[in-house]
Structure 1
Amino acid sequence: MPEESQVRAFYAGKNIFITGGTGFVGICLVDKILRCIPEIGKVYLLMRPKKNKEISDRLQELTKNSIFEKLLEITSPDIFKKLVPVAGDVGEENLGLSAQDRQILIDNVNVVIHSAATLDFGETLRKTVEINLLGTRRVMDLCKEIKNLKVMVQVSSAYVNSYLKEVHEKVYEAPEDVNNVLSLVDTLNDESLQQVETKLLGSHPNNYTFTKHLAEHEVVKYSDSFPCTIVRPTMIVASWKEPVPGWTCSKVGPQGFIMGAAKGVVRRLPVVKENVADYIPVDVVVNELLVAGYNAAKTTSGLTVFHCSSSTQKPFTWGAVEEQVNAFLHEYPSKGAVWYPHLKLVSSLWLFKLSAIFIHFIPAILLDMVLRLTGGRPILFRLHKNVWSSLGRLRKFIFNQWRFYNTNTMELAATLNETDSKLFYIDIGEIDASSKRPEGTGVPTARRSGTLPGYPRRNKTQSVLRGAADKSAAQAESSYLSNIEHRAVREYFVKKGKTPKEIFEDMVSVLQESVLSYTMVKKWARLFQQGRESCEDDSRPGRPVTVVTEEIVRKIEKLVLADRRIKLWQIAEEL
């Protein structure tokens, strides 16, 4: 008989107060609690009222998120009655709580998980101090008043110590005296504050890491009064296993690029192939928050620090998975793609910007023109412009590598019984970079609502996109071959005795992104091995496959001029 879950038993009947519950990590945390700890008491969610939308409306909107689909397969919507919205804002005095709501929290809460923060690297120092630093101080002040607090969990970031190349699980010396920082923010205007900002930050790359580092020291101040634990995730990416593999609602970081690549609008990624990129799936982060809280609550006070990281346990490099990522993009493209997906890695910001002009901006202008003509909303040029403007702020994180040691996390994982190891997994040792499916790889895949449902294989629309991409590539690259010429090359290699993998690698090395997918190489290699001689497509019933000709271009132009709201699929049908 399996052992009882000790983590689940600890949280059973307890009331939790969560800040940042509507964010990426927060909503995954709420789902995990309701799905795996149904015996939980109340889950109080700090929510900001928005214009023309009360917090009750925001909660109702939250419960309709696709992340809860798995939850609703095993329980009824009544489970959401455990969620209690509380009007407030970490950026306001006393968390913006009413006296009544504050007292309810003081009287009833047992566990506090503080996840709210501004993650914008370009945000002003004043704003980041208000939310990240003072917001944490306000949460700690509330914790001090809570009558039956068992543990406080602070969601920090491994990059609060990004000025170091090797980082251990401890709180490092504060980068600046917190009272000096608060005094400057209180007394200086925005212009003057910006002038002293660089000197104040010192070796910190931005206001986010600076204020989150100071926030850790706010937690330290209270750790003698009640148990506290700090969990430092690295770059949080889409889920590994739960609620479904590859789930995300965030466009931040590599998953944003992957989403863009799946839609065919992002075709270059600025990374150093050999550098270790520290990514951690969001479901592992959520599990560690709950496990760290359970562990810290065994004592009456004190502080523990955990790195939720991969760089020293399961190192990831883009160079090792470049071919694999493109295979996934080809086999499981987004249904909303506007261009055939392919992602190429470039090793410098200069090369990325140069290639982006031709590979991103020019096609974006053309596709936006088509969107305007068909009644759509042009967004691609603006998207690439936003990426371009953010590169300066992200340079340090794109082209550097760190070693975040996770010894405490590994030791914590070893203390879990078999049931908890499966239910609240925090050991990423089983991630397999050679997996044939994206979910097992640790590659930051991205499955947004409706984006990659069931990982569909190429469809008719993808064939149309492939034709458009082939036409563009033929004009741009002299090395481009037609489909028939591709097949003739494969037939030659088959007769030379090469395997499909060897054929694909040789063709990629010469033709680069104009080569077709590995699956198509395997298909035609098998046909030639079986004795096929012709490189032509077999005849088949129905409308013949179209090719791009001047006649078709004129026909498309005529269709668009006749109905400027015509959709791309309708154009494809007409052709």
Structure 2
Amino acid sequence: MASAGLKEFYKGKNIFITGSTGFLGVCLLEKILRSIPNHGDIYLLLRPKKGKQINERLEEIKSNNIFERLLKDKPVDEVFARVKAVAGDVGEENLGLSESDRSLLHQNVNVIFHSAATLDFGDDLNTTININLLGTRRITELAKKCRNLKVLIHVSSAYVNSYLNEAEEIIYPLPRDPEELIKIVAKLNPEELEKQTPELLGKHPNTYTITKHMAEHEVQKCEELFPCTIVRPSMIVGAFKEPVPGWTISKNGPQGFLMGASKGVIRRLPVAKQLIYDYIPVDIVVNNLLAAGFHSGATQSKKTQVYHSTSSTRNPFKWDYVETRINDNLHKYPLKSAVWYPHLKLLPSVTYYKISALFVHFLPAIILDTITRLTGGRPILMKLHRNVNTSLDRLEKFIFTEWKFSAKNTTDLQTWLNKNDQEEFSLDISSLVWPAYFDDLTLGARIYLSKDPVKTLNSARQKDKILLGIHLLVQGGIVFLFWYIFSGILGLSLKQSFLLVPAIVGLLNLL
């Protein structure tokens, strides 16, 4: 049975959002402002950061390029008239709220979107417990005191159950008692914690997944008190359609690698081309959050509803689909700031990647960083590649494991929406064509991550041709150098050892 309107449900409702400065959070805010014009007040939990007060941070949010489409028709003061900054931090007791702000939220908030979390797989258990687990508990404590709360929407992750290769839209039992884990971690010094972490994680691959898993149970504890829903995105990537195809501010996942590749800095990527990778566009996740909150609030469900915002069982992606297209796109949308001729090659293992990286990443980085240092610049390439290598060690399981996430609840939710909402708040990804989507993502990474506008494309393409010439000259020089060295070792003239050339070229192509 189709629902009444989503906009009608959110009409006049006051909304509280955590994580509003993040990739997903700012996209959620934009969608609400653009598509739900009769919303109530929107409270953003912001923490003072780097000497900036929350009103300054709110001004930074307003200047985000995601709002360009919205601000074409309305002045900024009108668009953000009902958006209010609230000073706080999910990592602090009572969310770090002042008495007056806490009272304000208790009296006014009708809808809570909890998106704030630490996403770093390298964070220690002490950090992730405080932010992901206890932060969610602090949100539920706030929710319990809200006088007219209609729904709590919690952003989880499809990978909270990453110890299972196939996961359903249910809340799985906890691997251990959260209170016990909290007490153990509190007693350990940093060295002891690092040593004991693998044992404490159990089946979980990292501190992120276990604490997000436990956070789901914090939400479930409230299901009898008010409607609760959980949305589990997989790897969130740039926009499919809204506000602009390819829009992104996140450097995680493929968009980050496309950014590095377009500069000519990232030249290798370890992936299993035949495995299914679960990527989901950010605008689909935003729609999922709004629709899930609408459904739970409208039906007044007494059971926590779970939705996978995922692609693996609905429209699976494989790198094999886009391999031949990636480099074409890098030269279709080249960067004016490229430092070398872009060429991205996919490799089947992290070990193979690290061997290749010695020659195509680290050696050029040493040379370019040295030149940068001599010319008074700040060398960054070696640091960049060391960070990439470190992150790959943490991500190897996620790069070379295939998961399938059932999305029946999400499919049913799309059907439950009325016809207008199915279009304006679509959860359907059947029309997403991955190669075409990667065209948009490459251009989006260029514009929004590398800050290279469309107007520079012509000059960038001219530079791309120059870089190609230099690249070919350098490659030719390297081949000649190896040819000269090997012919000398073998005691042959260059003419006599000419057959070494194709062998050398073949060997270099393997790297």
Q: TM-score, normalised by structure 2?
A: 0.90
The CA distance in 2 between the partners of 1:436 and 1:117, in whole Å, is 28
Q: CA deviation at 1:378?
A: 1.4
Kept in 2: contact 1:154–1:231 (CA 8 A) = yes
The CA distance in 2 between the partners of 1:442 and 1:240, in whole Å, is 12
Kept in 2: contact 1:264–1:339 (CA 8 A) = yes
Kept in 1: contact 2:155–2:230 (CA 8 A) = yes
Letter paired with 1:314: N
2:469 to 461, 467, 470: 467
Question: Which residue is 1:519 aligned to?
Answer: none
Kept in 2: contact 1:433–1:442 (CA 8 A) = no
Question: Which residue is 1:302 aligned to?
Answer: 303
Question: Which residue is 1:219 aligned to?
Answer: 219
2:115 is aligned with 1:88: no
Letter paired with 1:112: I
Kept in 1: contact 2:271–2:349 (CA 8 A) = yes
Letter paired with 1:282: V
The CA distance in 1 between the partners of 2:13 and 2:192, in whole Å, is 47
Within a 5 Å distance, the mapping from 1:415-426 to structure 2 comes to 415-426=416-427
Within a 5 Å distance, the mapping from 1:36-75 to structure 2 comes to 36-75=35-74
Question: Which residue is 1:196 aligned to?
Answer: 196
Question: Which residue is 1:131 aligned to?
Answer: 131
Q: CA deviation at 1:461?
A: 1.7
Choose 241-250 or 109-118, whichever is displaced more. 241-250
Q: CA deviation digits over 1:21-45, x for unaligned, max 9?
A: 1111111111111111121111101
Question: Which residue is 1:496 aligned to?
Answer: none
Q: CA deviation at 1:177?
A: 0.5
SS at match of 1:460: helix
Q: CA deviation at 1:418?
A: 2.6
Q: CA deviation digits over 1:168-224, x for unaligned, max 9?
A: 100001111011111112333333333332111111000000100000000111111
Q: CA deviation digits over 1:225-255, x for unaligned, max 9?
A: 1100000000011111111111111111221
Within a 5 Å distance, the mapping from 1:93-132 to structure 2 comes to 93-132=93-132
Q: CA deviation digits over 1:274-306, x for unaligned, max 9?
A: 010100011111111111111110233321000
Q: CA deviation digits over 1:62-116, x for unaligned, max 9?
A: 1111111111012211211221111111011011111110010010001000000
Kept in 1: contact 2:373–2:379 (CA 8 A) = yes
SS at match of 1:147: coil
Question: Which residue is 2:286 aligned to?
Answer: 286
Letter paired with 2:461: N
SS at match of 1:335: coil
* Closer, same or farther: CA 153–436 of 1 in aligned 2, 3 Å: closer
Within a 5 Å distance, the mapping from 1:165-180 to structure 2 comes to 165-180=165-180
Within a 5 Å distance, the mapping from 1:556-575 to structure 2 comes to none
Kept in 1: contact 2:163–2:205 (CA 8 A) = yes
The CA distance in 2 between the partners of 1:272 and 1:92, in whole Å, is 41
Q: CA deviation digits over 1:3-57, x for unaligned, max 9?
A: 9981122112111100111111111111111111121111101011124211011
Choose 311-320 or 179-188, whichever is displaced more. 179-188
* Closer, same or farther: CA 291–342 of 1 in aligned 2, 3 Å: same
Question: Which residue is 1:18 aligned to?
Answer: 17
Kept in 1: contact 2:277–2:318 (CA 8 A) = yes
Q: CA deviation digits over 1:327-381, x for unaligned, max 9?
A: 1111111222111111100001111000001111111122222323333321111
SS at match of 1:298: helix
Letter paired with 2:261: A
Kept in 2: contact 1:240–1:442 (CA 8 A) = no
Q: CA deviation digits over 1:485-511, x for unaligned, max 9?
A: xxxxxxxxxxxxxxxxxxxxxxxxx99
Q: CA deviation at 1:437?
A: 7.4
Kept in 2: contact 1:361–1:381 (CA 8 A) = yes
Per chain length, whose mean CA-contact separation is higher, i.e. which structure has more relative contact order (CA < 8 Å, sep 6+)? Answer: 2
Q: CA deviation digits over 1:501-554, x for unaligned, max 9?
A: xxxxxxxxx99999xxxxxxxxxxxxxxxxxxxxxxxxxxxxxxxxxxxxxxxx
Kept in 1: contact 2:447–2:454 (CA 8 A) = no
* Closer, same or farther: CA 291–365 of 1 in aligned 2, 3 Å: same
The CA distance in 1 between the partners of 2:445 and 2:59, in whole Å, is 28
SS at match of 1:154: strand
The CA distance in 1 between the partners of 2:3 and 2:198, in whole Å, is 52
* Closer, same or farther: CA 50–375 of 1 in aligned 2, 3 Å: same
Letter paired with 2:185: V
Choose 402-411 or 469-478, whichever is displaced more. 469-478
The CA distance in 2 between the partners of 1:477 and 1:340, in whole Å, is 18
Kept in 2: contact 1:25–1:282 (CA 8 A) = yes
SS at match of 2:288: helix
* Closer, same or farther: CA 46–512 of 1 in aligned 2, 3 Å: farther
* Closer, same or farther: CA 162–442 of 1 in aligned 2, 3 Å: farther
Letter paired with 2:330: L
SS at match of 2:85: strand
Kept in 1: contact 2:223–2:303 (CA 8 A) = yes
The CA distance in 2 between the partners of 1:265 and 1:348, in whole Å, is 19
The structure with the larger Rg is 1
Q: CA deviation digits over 1:156-176, x for unaligned, max 9?
A: 000000000000100001111
Kept in 1: contact 2:246–2:442 (CA 8 A) = no
Question: Which residue is 2:484 aligned to?
Answer: none
The CA distance in 2 between the partners of 1:195 and 1:159, in whole Å, is 24
Question: Which residue is 2:209 aligned to?
Answer: 209
Question: Which residue is 2:436 aligned to?
Answer: 435
Q: CA deviation at 1:389?
A: 1.4
2:364 is aligned with 1:394: no
Within a 5 Å distance, the mapping from 1:103-502 to structure 2 comes to 103-300=103-300, 301-435=302-436, 438-439=439-440, 447-448=447-448, 451=451, 453-454=453-454, 456=457, 458-477=460-479
The CA distance in 2 between the partners of 1:446 and 1:51, in whole Å, is 27
Kept in 1: contact 2:271–2:346 (CA 8 A) = yes
The CA distance in 1 between the partners of 2:438 and 2:201, in whole Å, is 43
Kept in 2: contact 1:238–1:446 (CA 8 A) = no
The CA distance in 2 between the partners of 1:218 and 1:247, in whole Å, is 33
The CA distance in 1 between the partners of 2:227 and 2:62, in whole Å, is 31
* Closer, same or farther: CA 436–16 of 1 in aligned 2, 3 Å: closer
The CA distance in 2 between the partners of 1:61 and 1:445, in whole Å, is 20
